Amino acid sequence: MGEKLLEVQGLKTWFHTDAGLSKAVNDVSFFVEKGKTLGIVGESGCGKSITSLSIMGLVQTPPGEIAGGKILFEGEDLLEKTEEEMRSIRGKKIAMIFQEPMTSLNPVFTIGQQLIETLMLHENLTKQQAREKGIEMLKLVKIPLAEKRFDEYPHQLSGGMRQRVMIAMALCCSPKLLICDEPTTALDVTIQAQILELINELKEQTGTSVMMITHDLGVIAEVADDVMVMYAGKVVEHATCDQIFEKPMHPYTYGLMNCIPKLDDDDTKELSVIEGMVPSFDDMPKGCAFCPRCPEAMDICREKMPKLSEAEGRMVRCFKYTEEWEESSHE
Amino acid sequence: MSDQTNQAPLLEVKHLRKLFPAKSGFLAKEKTYIKAVDDVSFTLMPKETLGVVGESGCGKSTMGRSVLRLIEPTEGEILYKGEDFRQAGGQQLRKMRSDMQIIFQDPYASLNPRMTVGEIIAEPLNIQKRCGSKEEVREQVLKVMEVVGLNPKYYNRYPHEFSGGQRQRIGIARAIVLQPSLVVCDEPVSALDVSIQSQVLNLLRKLQESMGMAYIFISHNLSVIKHISDRVMVMYLGHVVEMADKKELFDNASHPYTQALLSAIPVPERHSRRKKIILQGDLPSPANPPSGCIFHTRCFMAQEICSKQKPELKEIADGHLCACHFCGLNKGE
């Protein structure tokens, strides 16, 4: 096992809303190794984006609150840092790429101005040096005519180009950890293929660790080394990418894989479905959060929440792989 | 599918074009146009599903809406059940439209937030004056709600109280309440989570079987298209580049763009053996399309002829149309 770059222990990010307390991220633990890619999969509302915002210290408080846990980055707890200390880490050591390349660039500044902002802040470069470095970064992410693009505004670029600029921006201080929150969801498939290839290439070149957040298992299969599946604010399965695709163990992971139409499927058949929908936070079932939708649920699942425990060399949160399951089925 | 040969087509679209005027600048004398849909022809049989696939900006949505005249096409002919739909007006148009419906992409934006579910689904019935009494309307609406899997007790609720998947069911109920023969589905599952997506796809298919509707199913997702379609049309920059029966298209994709699209989909399996074709560059602007073959700027097998001469959409196998100078030459690569 490689060295742990980031370790999250028992993270709880809660939101105080008018409708009550929403436990968006509830006791999540994981780690990212140096030079590896961790994929986080789940549907909307499962807490995957909030996990990444918590790491970046970007959760708005109030209504948000980090109610517990530790985020250890290179051994230091980010939650104990002051806002000023965080500012020197954010962008320099940990960088993030957001989903919407259309809205995450400032429309009134040129690409160049936004790109050198980070460089001048963190690297103490002069404007001229920053410009050179900025153009170099644009070339690195394969933007044609980088010198010209440097002085253009975001609206002059296409979606794929904008996402490249975002990547250039994120990588310009050579961060140790790159968090990608659905980096290709807003893009067309042919452009998505370009961007994924670019992220993979840059990862090899720079040795950056990547956290890839997505709802698309196809994207995960292409880039991730390890996969964490989240459901309703909790980790339900955590395994290597090979393990997950070879044999998904949690019924939710299994359902998720089976309900996507695939090109080599027999398309005369009905698609298999996961019945029902993700429970809302004020209507969380007692016991396992997935049990109302789970085809294999038994009495025990409705009574208490299973622990994330080891089974067949990975972590799974399901009674199926515990002794209690046997006992429950004999009753 | 089998008994369609001697049937009359439900819809015939011939040389459909839609140009949007675009200003080229201050004091510009010359008028420029964006060719959103350029010379698209196809026929649709009753109960058939035509999948339309392409990237954003390829004109697939404009095409779908032009067919219903929600956007008035610039040129071309639309024959619906043999009648000229483009010439229809007033009462006749309204009557013909009642037989064709649309399901929109964004279930959050396509439902009026001030109307209850019951009112939304009843609206087409009221406009078309299909039912005599209010009681009858209510009965119809409740029946349709049950068909699409909405609990009848939601009759008086408002759209914001529902999740995306449920809202899309409301949109579907509204589309099928008049029992149309043609439904244009414009990216109906793109805004939904994967686990909900499969529920909606299964529902659409079930409805087609029970009600015998024809679909024009627009999507950017080839896997979804493959699952639901009988025939598939691939569009690029307003043009049809390839069209064939589903099986033929997915087994023998002949246009380089179709091949690239197919290879670009991330497959949810490890160590996929498929060779990836990664296209260079972005989609060119439709205001200023490339000369010759529209795809040549990104094509991995472009030759000199491609930038000069526009390839014809020609039949390369039974029912398999492809617009490429090198159609059929690059098979098996």
Q: Round to the nearest angstrom and report the end-to-end CA distance of chain B.
A: 31
Q: For A164-178, what is the mean pLDDT?
A: 88
pLDDT, residue B23, reads: 67
Length of chain B: 333
ipTM of this complex: 0.79
Residues of chain B with pLDDT under 70: 1-6, 23-30, 271-274, 328-333
Q: CA–CA separation, A64 vs A17, rounded Å?
A: 9
Q: Which of B1, B163, B193 to mutate to test the interface with A (most CBs of A within 10 A)?
A: B193
Report pLDDT digits (tens) over A64-77: 888 889 999 988 89
Higher local confidence (pLDDT), B57 or A257 = A257
Residues of chain A with pLDDT > 70: what percent?
Answer: 99
pLDDT surpasses 80 at A328? no
Report pLDDT digits (tens) over A34-85: 989 999 998 888 888 889 999 998 888 888 888 889 999 988 899 888 888 9
Nearest to A171 by CA among A95, A248, A66: A95
Report pLDDT digits (tens) over B276-296: 788 887 788 777 888 889 999
Q: CA–CA separation, A52 vs B92, rounded Å?
A: 56
**Shortest CA gap A219–chain B (Å):** 6
Question: With an 8 Å Cβ cutoff, are A259 and B195 in contact?
Answer: yes
Chain B, nearest residue to A198 by Cα: B278
Q: Which of B270, B274, B277 to mutate to test the interface with A (most CBs of A within 10 A)?
A: B270
pLDDT, residue B5, reads: 53
**Shortest CA gap B128–chain A (Å):** 34
Q: Which of A1-5, A257-261, A294-298, B63-67 has the highest mean pLDDT?
A: B63-67
Question: With an 8 Å Cβ cutoff, are A261 and B265 in contact?
Answer: no
Q: For A239-266, what is the mean pLDDT?
A: 87
Higher local confidence (pLDDT), B269 or A132 = A132
* C-alpha pair distances (Å), A16 with each of A22, A164, B161: 6, 36, 20
Residues of B in contact with A215 (CB under 8 A): 193-194
pLDDT, residue B140, reads: 92
Chain B residues whose C-beta sits inside 8 Å of any chain A C-beta? 55-56, 163, 165-166, 193-199, 201-202, 205, 220-224, 226-228, 246, 250, 260-270, 272, 276, 278-283
Give all strands (DSSP E) within chain A, no chain letters: 4-17, 20-33, 37-41, 64-73, 76-77, 94-97, 177-181, 209-214, 226-231, 234-240, 309-311, 314-316
Residues of B in contact with A259 (CB under 8 A): 194-195, 197-198
Chain B, nearest residue to A252 by Cα: B195
pLDDT, residue A178, reads: 92
pLDDT, residue B333, reads: 41
Spatial contact of A135 and A150, defined as CB atoms under 8 Å apart: yes
Chain B, nearest residue to A240 by Cα: B270
**Shortest CA gap A91–chain B (Å):** 28
Report pLDDT digits (tens) over A281-293: 777 888 888 988 8
* Residue contacts between A and B (CB atoms, under 8 Å): 123
Question: With an 8 Å Cβ cutoff, are B55 and A242 in contact?
Answer: no
pTM for the complete prediction?
Answer: 0.84
Question: With an 8 Å Cβ cutoff, are A161 and B282 in contact?
Answer: yes
Q: What average pLDDT is seen over chain A? A: 87
Residues of B in contact with A218 (CB under 8 A): 265-268
Higher local confidence (pLDDT), B195 or A230 = A230
pLDDT, residue B116, reads: 94
Q: CA–CA separation, B216 vs B270, rounded Å?
A: 33
Chain B, nearest residue to A242 by Cα: B270
A179, amino acid identity: I
Question: With an 8 Å Cβ cutoff, are B198 and A261 in contact?
Answer: yes
Chain A, nearest residue to B54 by Cα: A188
Give all strands (DSSP E) within A75-219, no chain letters: 76-77, 94-97, 177-181, 209-214
pLDDT, residue A144, reads: 82
**Shortest CA gap B223–chain A (Å):** 5
Nearest to A221 among B228, B264, B268 (CB): B268
Residues of B in contact with A265 (CB under 8 A): 226-227
pLDDT, residue B214, reads: 95
Q: Is B199 left (phi over 0), alpha (psi -120 to 50) or beta?
A: alpha
pLDDT, residue B2, reads: 44
* C-alpha pair distances (Å), A312 with each of A99, A242, B261, B305: 34, 13, 37, 58
pLDDT, residue B29, reads: 65
Q: Which of A185, A259, A283 to mutate to test the interface with B (most CBs of B within 10 A)?
A: A259
Question: With an 8 Å Cβ cutoff, are A197 and B193 in contact?
Answer: no
Length of chain A: 331
Residues of B in contact with A219 (CB under 8 A): 266
Residues of chain A with pLDDT > 90: what percent?
Answer: 27
pLDDT, residue B1, reads: 46
Question: With an 8 Å Cβ cutoff, are A197 and B278 in contact?
Answer: yes
Q: Rounded to 10 degrees, what is the CA torsion of A106, A111, A113, A118?
A: 80
Question: With an 8 Å Cβ cutoff, are B264 and A218 in contact?
Answer: no
| Locus of tokens 């030759």 | B303
Say which DSSP state A275 is in. Answer: -
